[in-house]
Amino acid sequence: SLRVMDLKSGRADPFRKITELDPLGPDRDKLQLAFYGWAVEQLMHQPVSRAAYRFVGRPEPDADITLAITDQVIAQLHARVHQIVDAVAEGVFEPGQVGQWGCEVCAPDGLGTFEINQRRLEWHALVTDGPDE
């Protein structure tokens, strides 16, 4: 069987709650490992036994986060993707808040999170209050 590895330049902390019992994380927002496993199976026509994040670029990198790719994991992934697609189709899919974390790779200048969150608040007001007259 195949294995998939995603190299990450950050830390493992946001992904530690991905487990066999909770493969999408407690907030069901960590779809990447399950999706990569499913996608590689589709492309290669071979089973994928597991997908993993490997953390690189630090003197003491974090341990890998590994997810076994099982039928149950794929079923949870598909169910969650359908929920997201349905919500987007209904116009109620709200993007999550961007934290004030300092990922040097994602936001090297430390800017950007304010603007993203401001757009999110404006979107939320539009959905709940309606457009300004």
pLDDT digits (tens, 9 = 90+) for 43-64: 999 999 999 999 998 888 899 9
Beta bridge partners of 67: 51
Indicate if 68 and 132 belong to the same structural domain.
no
- For residues 93 and 61, give the distance between their C-alpha atoms in angstroms, rounded to a whole number: 35
Side chain identity at residue 69, one-letter code: I
Instruction: Please indicate, yes or no, whether residues 18 and 35 belong to a single structural domain of this protein.
Output: yes
* pTM attached to this predicted model: 0.73
What's the domain count of the chain?
2
Asked whether residue 70 falls in the same domain as residue 44, the answer is yes
Are 47 and 2 contacting, i.e. CB atoms less than 8 angstroms apart? yes
Summarised one tens digit per residue, pLDDT across range 102-131 is 565 566 666 666 777 777 788 778 777 766
29 plus 88 within the same structural domain: yes
Task: Domain of residue 132: give its range.
Answer: 94-133
The overall longest dimension of the chain from CA atoms, in Å, is 59
CA angle (16 as vertex; 62, 47 as ends), nearest 5: 95
Same domain, 72 and 98: no
Q: Are residues 80 and 30 in the same domain?
A: yes
Do both 10 and 37 map to the same domain?
yes
